[in-house]
Structure 1
Amino acid sequence: MKRRRRKKRSIKYVRLAVLLTILIVGVFVMIKGYEDYVKKMFRSKVKPEEVVALDIAKHQYNWERLIEIDGKRYYVYEDESYSKFGIDVSKHQKHIDWKKVKDSGVEFAMIRLGHRGYESGAISLDPTFKYNLKEAMKQGIQVGVYFFSQAITLEEAIEEAEFVLKHIKHYNLDFEIVFDMENIHGKTARIDSLSNQQRTDFAIGFCQRVMAEDHKCMIYGNYHWLNGYFQLDRLANYPFWIAHYSDKLNFEYQLKMWQYTDSLTIDGIEGPVDANIYFDKEN
């Protein structure tokens, strides 16, 4: 009887040892598989263009030379200003009193000309565009325009450029025409499935078309968007308009304009407005 019990116990221990071995091996395989998955996932997210982008020219701005007066920022060196202060507006600012805006110290305005629907793909003119452009110019405020792109083909990007050219042909712009492609937070947009190369191709196509008519072109975005969803090195020949709401800019490459807040109060405008500093020259 004792021998049988010992035998049963031995078999029981062997089974437990086998089960424990299987469990350990299974856990190891799961961990190894997860590590391989994570490595694969990160390899797929690190785009080659992000590495190449590190080699493009960097700006030489010294942010210690940045001063702020009543929310307006200026880049000053040895008592000389190397910048202009401005705003960007669209229908969201409703009716604007441009005389009051001018008297408040605004030197330039980037005005939304239009947009393409992120679902429908239809192109629309901003209903306040003509009023804003004419009234800002009447007050002696320098102007540029931007277009909100949702192009999913090169043909659509060029169509957007043609749309902009059509509506500015009777005006002399002081500042650039801006390509503004953005994702739509919390919603599905038609550009979501585009590759970095496609977004870059469309930005270049847009800019080349407007530059063919002797206009300057600029590309808008924040650092995360431009560096993560475009081939940044291919855009190095175009000036950047960077959105970053902070005291110091986190974008190290060459740029022309910095949108530093979306909540400035300006006399003549109902509600908050985006504020920008445009760099005339570097020092």
Structure 2
Amino acid sequence: MTVKKKPAAPPRKKTAVKRKPSPRKKKKTNKINTNLIIALTGIALILLSPFYYGYVLNTFSSAWQWVRDFGKDPHYRTYKSFDINIPTKYTVHGIDVSYAQGKIDWHKVKVMQEDSVHITFAFIKATEGVLLVDPYFKRNWREAAKAGIICGAYHYFRPEKSGKWQARFFMQNVNVEKGDMPMVVDVETLKGASPEQMRKELKAFLESVEAKTGTKPIIYSGLSFYKDYLQSYFEGYRLWIAHYYKPELKAGRNTQWLFWQHSDKARVNGINHTVDFDAFHGDSIAFRNMLITD
């Protein structure tokens, strides 16, 4: 009798045993996620920080300024604080003001500085013609000197009026003292007068002031007006010449100028309006020697 063998059972499939992640591996993943969150948070804080944007803007501004100044005269550079280009070969700088600048905080003017540029002197409008006194003159004259700024007064000349009477009116309203700059006459227009009449009245003005003060006044004028109507007529008088936005004042070799008004749009702390900016033609010793001594 033949015994039949039972068929062998099919092999059982092995089921893969699911392994739980090791605690060490889980801890490592958490650490990576934490570091990533910290890094992203730090980047976000930097990007949102006003200091970051200030740094970026400042860097961009400096780079752009370098591009703007590339190839320009290195002796005529931009001073960001004053918002103008300033010729760098001059060391004594100043401003000139009138009622147009309003009420000025002269202490802020005095302490403002960028690199070596700061305000040493100020010409202040006092009078005009034979009747007008600048409404801010007395305050400016007092407060600028109190802040330590060396002052000079100027008169706006009206060629159609008597030069002698204008000089008298000017000196009645201005009391110059030792350490002040010489008095200034501002002549920049004919106002309907002929060149001959203008020069006649200007001569009378200059002689009257010199006779009274013992010091020759300074003549202020624009470069074109000076060349057209004044050049060679007033030899011996020191000049203050206006000529804007140039790296150098080209007034001619024989022109004896003391001051150069090279910009009319400077920004100065303490003044809520643009203001004229000036340079003295000489060093600090020459500037001191130019001041009134009696």
Normalised by the length of structure 2, the TM-score is 0.62
Q: 1:247 to 1:261 in 2, by over 3 A?
A: same
Equivalences for residues 167-206 of structure 1 within 5 A: 167-169=173-175, 171-172=177-178, 174-183=180-189, 191-206=190-205
Q: CA RMSD in A?
A: 2.3
> Cα deviation per residue 1:65-113 (whole Å; 9 max; x = unaligned)?
956572474664xxxxx64100000000000000000001210000000
Say which of 240, 254, 257 aligns to 2:256. 254
Question: Could you say what secondary structure the match of 1:106 adopts?
Answer: strand
Q: Is the 8 A contact 2:167 2:206 kept in 1?
A: yes
Q: Is the 8 A contact 1:72 1:275 kept in 2?
A: no
Q: Is the 8 A contact 1:112 1:145 kept in 2?
A: yes
Question: Could you say what secondary structure the match of 2:233 adopts?
Answer: helix
Question: Could you say what secondary structure the match of 1:109 adopts?
Answer: strand
Looking at structure 2, the residues matched to 67 and 239 of structure 1 have their Cα atoms a distance apart, in angstroms, of: 25
Q: Is the 8 A contact 1:261 1:274 kept in 2?
A: yes
Looking at structure 2, the residues matched to 197 and 238 of structure 1 have their Cα atoms a distance apart, in angstroms, of: 18
Q: 1:92 to 1:175 in 2, by over 3 A?
A: same
Looking at structure 1, the residues matched to 221 and 107 of structure 2 have their Cα atoms a distance apart, in angstroms, of: 29
Q: Is the 8 A contact 1:75 1:279 kept in 2?
A: no
Q: For residue 220 of structure 1, what is the amino acid of its counterpart?
A: Y
**Structure number with larger C-alpha Rg:** 2
1:270 paired with 2:272, answer yes
Equivalences for residues 65-80 of structure 1 within 5 A: 66=75, 68=77, 70=79, 71=84, 73=86, 76=89
Equivalences for residues 84-163 of structure 1 within 5 A: 84-104=92-112, 105-116=118-129, 123-153=131-161, 156-163=162-169
Looking at structure 1, the residues matched to 155 and 233 of structure 2 have their Cα atoms a distance apart, in angstroms, of: 20
Q: Is the 8 A contact 1:85 1:108 kept in 2?
A: yes
Task: State the Cα distance separating 1:194 from its structure 2 match.
Answer: 2.4
> What is the number of equivalent residue pairs in this alignment?
199
Q: 1:209 to 1:273 in 2, by over 3 A?
A: same
Partner of 1:209: 208
Q: Is the 8 A contact 2:268 2:274 kept in 1?
A: yes
Q: For residue 182 of structure 1, what is the amino acid of its counterpart?
A: E
Question: Could you say what secondary structure the match of 1:269 adopts?
Answer: coil
Looking at structure 2, the residues matched to 172 and 67 of structure 1 have their Cα atoms a distance apart, in angstroms, of: 34
Sequence identity, in percent?
A: 29
Looking at structure 2, the residues matched to 217 and 72 of structure 1 have their Cα atoms a distance apart, in angstroms, of: 29
Task: State the Cα distance separating 1:204 from its structure 2 match.
Answer: 2.1
Looking at structure 2, the residues matched to 67 and 161 of structure 1 have their Cα atoms a distance apart, in angstroms, of: 37
Q: 1:149 to 1:72 in 2, by over 3 A?
A: same
Q: 1:106 to 1:170 in 2, by over 3 A?
A: closer
Q: Is the 8 A contact 1:74 1:85 kept in 2?
A: no
Q: 5+ unaligned residues in a row in structure 1: which ranges?
A: 1-63, 77-81, 117-121, 184-190
Partner of 2:241: 242
Q: Is the 8 A contact 2:120 2:150 kept in 1?
A: yes
Looking at structure 2, the residues matched to 110 and 196 of structure 1 have their Cα atoms a distance apart, in angstroms, of: 26
Partner of 1:25: none
Question: Could you say what secondary structure the match of 2:128 adopts?
Answer: strand
Partner of 1:224: 224
Q: 1:72 to 1:207 in 2, by over 3 A?
A: farther
Partner of 1:26: none
Q: Is the 8 A contact 1:72 1:85 kept in 2?
A: no
Task: State the Cα distance separating 1:173 from its structure 2 match.
Answer: 5.4
Q: 5+ unaligned residues in a row in structure 2: which ranges?
A: 1-72, 113-117, 287-294
Partner of 1:30: none
Partner of 1:41: none
Task: State the Cα distance separating 1:170 from its structure 2 match.
Answer: 6.2
Q: 1:136 to 1:260 in 2, by over 3 A?
A: same
Looking at structure 1, the residues matched to 176 and 221 of structure 2 have their Cα atoms a distance apart, in angstroms, of: 28
Larger RCO (CA under 8 A, 6+ residues apart): 1
